[in-house]
Structure 1
Amino acid sequence: MELTNKAIGIDFGGTSIKFGVVIGKQIIAEAPPILPKNHPKPNDLIQAIADTCKSLVEKHPDIQAIGCGVPGFVDTPTGLIHNLTNVPGWIDIPLRDLLSQKTGLPCIVENDANAMGVAEWKLGAGAGFQHLVCLTLGTGVGGAIIVNNQLVRGAKFVAGELGQTSIHYNGRVGAYNNPGALEDYVGNNEFAADAQQAYFESGIEKTLDDCSPAALDAAATAGCEIAIACWDDFARKLACTLANCCWLLNPEAFVIGGGLSKAGDTLFKPLRKHLAAQLSPPFRDHLQIIPAKFSNEAGIIGCSVLALESLDS
């Protein structure tokens, strides 16, 4: 893969689909996002995606490939999307082949958290590590695992779904009937609801908007003891999953991105404390916990990297 080559990276979200023309780690051009709600039928949405890609190719005719990251289960070798839980009607859609036929360019389709992880591992905060775990914290929790300098996809290409790992065998039941799923405790909505309850128990009424991660970060920074305690509890829950990863995979580092990671030391300081308490020195002393570098651009960059790498395979 040459870092001077161009590819289109697509970040397929439930509310918007974003496009970028990428060289290396630089997004040099973008197209207006597409709103899935305006294209309720999969075929219509795929055509809109293809048309946007073709408009980018007209301006950048040396684009060599397309990579699309989606928040769902993907058969990576064939580019078949098994399902997208946040976009109705997307079941067993051969997105790779359809996009390739409509654009004339080679395409790959990858899980969006894996794409984020590839961007950070190849070009971002995780560059240089051979054993790495990447997480993205937002409405849900996504993950990507790198072992021996290889992305781990698993037998059916769903490895790395750290948000579905359990932190309590008798806990809240997740979307896949798995009790104690991490993202049912540390997702944006769950974090806000738990914080609202903590304030209520202290005799303070707050709206859910008052308990957004950004609001809780500001409150903790200002010294609010309730907000500080909420972040400490959040970090303790997240540390449980990270500790499990350490004992299972023995990574060199964790790279953490997504909206919640923007809290900086408000999150990372208690997270390092709680994780260290659950590990023995051989694991703990070398381990790094690092904020992601690319923020919202990670998916687009990672998809472009994977698309260009597929040309060499």
Structure 2
Amino acid sequence: MEYTDKAIGIDFGGTSIKMGIVLGKQIVAELPSINPKHHPEPKDLIRAIADQVKVAREDHDDIRAIGCGVPGFVHTPTGTIHNLTNVPGWTDIPLQALLSEATGLPCVVENDANAMGIAEWKLGAGQHFKHLICLTLGTGVGGAVIVNNQIIRGAHYVAGELGQTSIHYAGRLGAYNNAGALEDYIGNNEFAADSQAAYKEAGIEKDIEDCTPAAMDALASHGDEIAIACWDDFAKKLACAIANCCWILNPEAIVIGGGISKAGDTLFVPLRKHVLEQLSGPFKDHLKILPAKFGNEAGIIGCATLALESIED
């Protein structure tokens, strides 16, 4: 599908709400970001967003819709947010209706990981696949599942929370009392803490800032054996979750985005190995494990894409 109209994509974060005007695969103009902490009440934050939209339309009068990606559970038919995981006070907020009323534009609201998945599926690394799983790796782990060219939403529109699936029935206790949740093993903070512990076990003291994914990628690239082992352990944990998804859904491809995916071969070489050794026959034949195309822009692009499709529908 060709996207020839403009839309605004909005990516909600705990410390920054990023906004951009999107045309096709490109963010043609970035709007000033908004700090949600400066607008603690939902109505005030919505007004601040609406003010930015109004200014943007002065230079881009052909903007047709708005899409919002939020880190939480969304009732997508109505665009009502059940709750936001990193912005307090946002419980049962009808964001779609409120923002549409404040701006005069059609609006859609989507889970942020689904927005990333939509960008990659429609326009990015996954655009040639009908059966696709997208993962975004950061502080947490988000997921989007596409089956037969349809995003899977579930009975109550909250399917795809792959970060909450278990890789150990008696493992670390997650935020929802779920043992062994994937994101409690491979989130940025957990990866850094586990890496720091690995160095300490080897008699090497490192600050946590020296064990971030970016720092560990650099160390592994220079042949640091502990860093290489930490990445291999990370890949094994992620591979366990991916293999589970493959056995259930038999996808054609896995697309991985988020900051950790920037590690490139440091991550993807051991990850492909550990995934494929846990699968057989048609579950692994021709399976692609790919880095995402759009990086941090995926959420904005995916939201804008979804907004345009909603008005076409």
Q: Deviations over 1:30-67 (max 9, x none)?
A: 11100011111111111101111111111111110000
Match of 1:228 in 2: 228
Tell me which moved more, 36-45 or 286-295.
Answer: 36-45
Structure 1 residue 220: Cα displacement: 0.6
Structure 1 residue 2: Cα displacement: 4.8
Amino acid at match of 2:39: H
Q: Where does structure 2 lack aligned partners over 5 or more consecutive residues?
A: none
Q: Deviations over 1:136-192 (max 9, x none)?
A: 000000000000001111111111110000000000010111000000000000000
TM-score, with normalisation over the residues of structure 1?
A: 0.99
Whole-Å separation in 2 of the counterparts to 1:8 and 1:201: 49
List aligned pairs for 1:32-51, cutoff 5 A. Answer: 32-51=32-51
Match of 2:84 in 1: 84
How many residue pairs end up in the alignment? 313
Match of 1:187 in 2: 187
Whole-Å separation in 2 of the counterparts to 1:228 and 1:26: 35
List aligned pairs for 1:42-61, cutoff 5 A. Answer: 42-61=42-61
Match of 1:141 in 2: 141
SS in 2 for 1:168: coil
Match of 2:157 in 1: 157
Q: Deviations over 1:241-297 (max 9, x none)?
A: 000000000000000000000000000000011101100032112100000000011
| 1:107 partnered with 2:107 | yes
SS in 2 for 1:298: helix
Match of 1:166 in 2: 166
List aligned pairs for 1:270-281, cutoff 5 A. Answer: 270-281=270-281
List aligned pairs for 1:228-307, cutoff 5 A. Answer: 228-307=228-307
Structure 1 residue 19: Cα displacement: 0.7
Q: Where does structure 1 lack aligned partners over 5 or more consecutive residues?
A: none
Amino acid at match of 1:134: C
Identity over aligned pairs, percent: 76
Structure 1 residue 312: Cα displacement: 1.9
Structure 1 residue 3: Cα displacement: 1.1
Whole-Å separation in 2 of the counterparts to 1:5 and 1:55: 18
Match of 1:311 in 2: 311
Whole-Å separation in 2 of the counterparts to 1:92 and 1:21: 27
Amino acid at match of 1:159: A
Q: Deviations over 1:79-114 (max 9, x none)?
A: 000000210100010100000000000000000000
Whole-Å separation in 2 of the counterparts to 1:199 and 1:21: 45
Moved over 2 A (4+): none
Q: Deviations over 1:207-261 (max 9, x none)?
A: 1101000000011111111000000000000000000000000000000000000
Match of 2:9 in 1: 9
TM-score, with normalisation over the residues of structure 2?
A: 0.99
SS in 2 for 1:30: strand
Match of 1:121 in 2: 121
Amino acid at match of 1:63: I
- The alignment yields a C-alpha RMSD, in angstroms, of 0.8
SS in 2 for 1:196: helix
